[in-house]
Amino acid sequence: MKQIKEAEGTGTMEGISNHIPYDDLLPMLMNGISDFIFFVDVDGPRRFKYRYMNKSALMGSLAGGAVWKGKYIEEVMDENAAPPLIDAYEEAAQKKGPVTYEDQIMVNGKVFRSHSVLTPTLNEEGDVTHILAVTRNLTEVMEKEEALGSMNAVYKSLMTNTTDAVIILDKDGSVLDVNKAFTELYGFSKEDISGCSYPFVPEDLTDEACELVQQALEGRGTSGRTTIRKNRDGSLLDVSISVSRIQNEEGETIGVSSIIRNVTEEKNEERRRESSRSRYRSLFEHNPQAILTLTFRGTITNANPASLEMLEKEGHEVLHTSFMELISKEQEGAVRKEIHGSFFDTGGQFRTVVDVGGEEKILQISLVPIIIQDKKEGIYAILDDITEKEKAYEGMRQSQESFRLIANYSNDLISVFSPKGALIYASPSQHEFFGEDPMSWSRENLMQKVDLGDLRRLTDLFIKSCQTKEGFTITVKLTSFNGEPVWFECRATPVIDDDHEVSHIVVVARDISEQKSYEEKLERFAYYDYLTGLPNRLLFEENVWKAVEKGQRTGQAFAILYLDGDGFKGINDQYGHDMGDEFLREVGKRLRSCIRGGDSVARIGGDEFSVLVEELKDRRLIRDVSNRLLNELREPYYVRGMEIRTSFSIGVACFPEDGETHEGLFRAADTALYEGKKNGKNQVLFFEDQ
């Protein structure tokens, strides 16, 4: 060390080497260095002989296990690696100054990438006597850079090609990146958004937006949250937002990503449906059917007049009491289970015995969930007195088919496929949904997760998309890890490469199961008769209203037929209500079989039916149809082995002669029906023939 200190201040290898022998100096300085160190003698032009390697170089086996000391470069390296290495050393010797170069060679069958600095040492005469080589191993760094490049390509593909808006934030909430879909949705580009300001968030929802970001940073991501955002022009948008954190390889949270989907049209449709539902609420008070509203604990919160009349009670005697008080002790457990089950299912139907004024009544009770803004708020209990019918069939139960609602906040499933259908990327949310990583599946395993019919349609659309280079949207049913089928809306976008070919297809799937289930149930409940399966009065009136609109626009004539049974009460009295119900079903079947494909038939109530006959080119046609219906309805009915004979009266009104509005047509048909029944029944009477 004393010798080294004496050499300090010279600033050159020459100064140190004049005071300390090389054999002592090199091990002292170089064996503690992680870089590869080589010290070579310069014996002449292109003649470089190894004098020293440090431990790192020896352990790295760059010499391939050969005896290197005292050997020239060409004796140690193979014939391909030696010439460029000698060229670099020769350049340093000629230049008498440092030379830098990068190299890639095969070492023990593996690629070795390096960065080297060659520094010549000079004697007192200024001649180069030795060269010190310091080589740094870049293999791992460059491999990571290549892997990062591949990940960046996937990121760029998702950002560029997904039809949903995407925004990336850092840990401080500052915007790092947005995609084209984001700019198209909100009207703001990345450059328009500075720091942590979010001009696309309404002022009153700023705290909400910041909270979503903070929750994601803490690992509590959000999926499918519906909220309000603002376009650059000031207009408000309904959006569905998913927010999740971004982690690096060490598992550290480095930012937040958010996928935004414009659901304005869907929300507007939902609002229209809500407006329609509010009109139906008025039916509660005026409905001839007895209806109660219950909490999921069975407490009665409302009762319409028909239910109070059926139960022979005043409102204050029923409201805020338990529904269980109406039920016999023996049936309490079963009824409570039905009510609790309605919280999870789409409803139920059961029969029970209640005490009304000291007499037992057998009621058929239908439970229908009350859904407001997609949230179950309670239950409608629809009471039907079936005491007479149940004398022979007491104890039987009827239940409706139930549908389990899909778990809330299911994550969007993002996939990237090759043009041949191979899965090349699956988002982490898919592991959560399927219970395993889809990337480990074979093509056969993947196809088994899709319903067979959906798979055919999906395959056809996939092939067409690759040919036309256009995206598509499809609704499919997938099977979750627990075997449950789930409906998804899938939006697929083909990615076009520089050769104008499809390089891969990005698919974003969103859970729409609850929406589909709710729409189907609401439509069925609102528009169809529970007994015959025919359209009810509400749907029939809508059809007539549409026919009037069309007739006013095109001049097309049509007619409505109002039918009423001439002896239905006698059938109920003679055979019982159960046979009466079967009879009404048979009437519905006959009416359906008698009308044309474009016409419609509905049950108005009791034994009253209506028929809409459209596109009347000749007035004689409606007379033929009416008489054919009358004759068909006169034919005997065979119900449970019994022959029933009866007849119907029919009143007919034609558009536009008998009325130019649907209210006027109904009045005209009803008037004609009344006159026909007054004049002997069992006949067809046209309003114009009165």
Written as six digits, the tokens of 432 are: 């959560």
Indicate if the pLDDT at residue 145 is higher than 70: no
Residue whose pair of structure tokens reads 């090199």 in the numeric block: 26
Please say whether the dihedral angle defined by the alpha carbons of residues 185, 189, 190 and 195, taken in this order, is positive or negative.
negative
Residue 8 binned pLDDT confidence (cut-offs 50, 70, 90): very low
Q: Distance between CA 681 and CA 634 in Å, rounded?
A: 12
Label residue 66 by pLDDT band (50, 70, 90): low
Compute the average pLDDT of residues 145-157.
61
* Model pLDDT, residue 371: 74
Q: 3 falls in which pLDDT band (50, 70, 90)?
A: very low
Helices (H), 398-512: 428-434, 443-447, 452-468
The per-residue pLDDT for 406 is: 29
The Cβ of residue 442 has, within 10 Å, a number of other Cβ atoms equal to 8
Instruction: Map tokens 């090389």 to a residue.
Output: 22
User: 2-138 adopts what CATH topology?
Assistant: Beta-Lactamase (3.30.450)
User: By 3-state DSSP, what share of the chain in percent is helix, strand and coil, each rounded to 5?
Assistant: 40, 30, 30
Quick one: average pLDDT of 204-225? 88
Confidence at 138, pLDDT banded by 50, 70, 90: confident
* Better-predicted residue by pLDDT, 354 or 273: 354
Which of the four CATH numbers 3.40.190.10, 1.10.3720.10, 3.20.20.10, 3.30.450.20 does domain 159-267 have? 3.30.450.20
Check pLDDT > 90 for residue 611: yes
pLDDT at 23 over 80: no
Provide the pLDDT confidence category of residue 195 given band limits of 50, 70 and 90. low
Measure the CA–CA gap between 257 and 508, rounded to whole angstroms.
15
What percent of the chain has pLDDT above 90? 21
Report the pLDDT value the prediction gives residue 561, as an integer from 0 to 100. 94
How far is residue 542's CA from residue 661's CA, in Å, rounded to a whole number?
12
**Residue 396: its pLDDT value, please?**
33
* pLDDT at residue 11, rounded to an integer: 43
E strand or H helix that includes residue 222: strand 222-230
Q: Nearest CA to 118 among 141, 90, 137, 142?
A: 90
**Domain 413-516 has what CATH class?**
alpha beta
Burial class (CB in 10 A: 0-12, 13-18, 19+), 650: buried
pLDDT of residue 20: 53
Catalytic residue check, 599: no
Q: What's the pLDDT score for residue 62? A: 55
pLDDT of residue 153: 61
State residue 619's pLDDT score: 81
Note whether 369 and 347 are within 8 A (CB).
Answer: yes
Phi, psi of 475 (to 5 degrees): -100, 125
Cα–chain center distance at 639: 48
Say whether pLDDT at 613 is over 70.
Answer: yes
Query: If you compute the radius of gyration of the chain from its CA atoms, what whole number of angstroms results?
Result: 42
Instruction: Determine if the pTM surpasses 0.75.
Output: no
User: What residues contact residue 279 under an 8 Å CB cut-off, 6+ apart?
Assistant: none
Do 2-138 and 532-689 come out as alike in CATH topology?
Answer: no
Under 8 Å between Cβ of 123 and 144 = no
Q: Which amino acid is at 392?
A: A
The string of pLDDT tens digits covering residues 362-374 is 887 888 877 776 7
What is the pLDDT at residue 612? Answer: 93
> How does pLDDT run across 217-270, given as a tens digit for each residue?
888 888 888 999 998 898 999 999 989 898 887 888 888 888 999 988 888 888
pLDDT score of 28: 61
When the pLDDT of each residue in the chain is averaged and rounded to a whole number, the result is 81
| 31-60 residue pLDDT tens | 767 788 888 999 999 999 988 888 877 776
Give the pLDDT confidence score for residue 478 in this predicted structure. 83
Closest C-alpha to 381, from 408, 344, 342 = 342
Pairing of strands 110-122, 99-107: antiparallel
pLDDT above 60 for 16: no
Does residue 286 sit in helix, strand or coil? Answer: helix
pLDDT tens per residue across span 476-505: 888 888 888 888 888 999 998 888 899 989
Per-residue model confidence (pLDDT) at position 409: 37
Backbone angles phi, psi at 533, to 5 degrees: 80, 0
Strand partners for 444? none
Query: Which tokens sit at 458?
Result: 């999906």
Which of 11-25, 319-333, 389-403, 467-481 has the highest average model confidence (pLDDT)?
A: 467-481
Confidence of residue 656 (pLDDT cuts 50, 70, 90): very high
- Mean pLDDT is lowest, of 100-104, 537-541, 609-613, for 100-104
Distance (Å, rounded) from C-alpha 450 to C-alpha 454?
7
Please state the φ and ψ torsions of residue 391, each to the nearest 5 degrees: -60, -35
Among 261-265, 580-584, 615-619, the minimum mean pLDDT is found in: 615-619
Mean pLDDT to the nearest integer, 64-83: 80
Query: Residue 89 — pLDDT band, cuts 50, 70, 90?
Result: very high
Report the pLDDT value the prediction gives residue 390, as an integer from 0 to 100.
62
* Residues 599/613, Cβ–Cβ less than 8 Å: yes
How confident is the model at residue 342, as a pLDDT?
65
- 284-390: CATH number: 3.30.450.20
Listed ranges 193-202, 333-342, 534-543; the one with the highest mean pLDDT: 534-543
Q: How many CB atoms lie within 10 A of CB 157?
A: 16
How many of the other CB atoms lie within 10 Å of CB of 613? Answer: 24
Residues 615-644 have a mean pLDDT of 89
Who wins on pLDDT, 351 or 258?
A: 258
Q: Is the pLDDT of residue 672 over 60?
A: yes
Residue 621, classed as helix, strand or coil, is helix
Which of 573, 607, 618, 689 is an active site residue?
607
Q: Quick one: pLDDT at residue 386?
A: 80
Region 561-588: mean pLDDT is 90
Q: Give the domain ranges of the chain.
A: 2-138, 159-267, 284-390, 413-516, 532-689
pLDDT reported for residue 557:
93
532-689: what fold?
Alpha-Beta Plaits (3.30.70)
DSSP 299: B
Predicted local distance difference test score (pLDDT) of residue 487 = 85
- Residue-wise pLDDT for 520-533, tens only, equals 666 666 678 888 88
Check residue 595 and give its pLDDT.
Answer: 87
Query: For residue 612, what are the β-bridge partners?
Result: 560, 600
Can you give the pLDDT at residue 40?
A: 92
Task: Please give the structure tokens belonging to residue 7.
Answer: 């050499």
* CB contact at 8 A, 304 and 318: no
Q: Do residues 130 and 39 lie in contact, with contact meaning Cβ atoms separated by under 8 Å?
A: yes
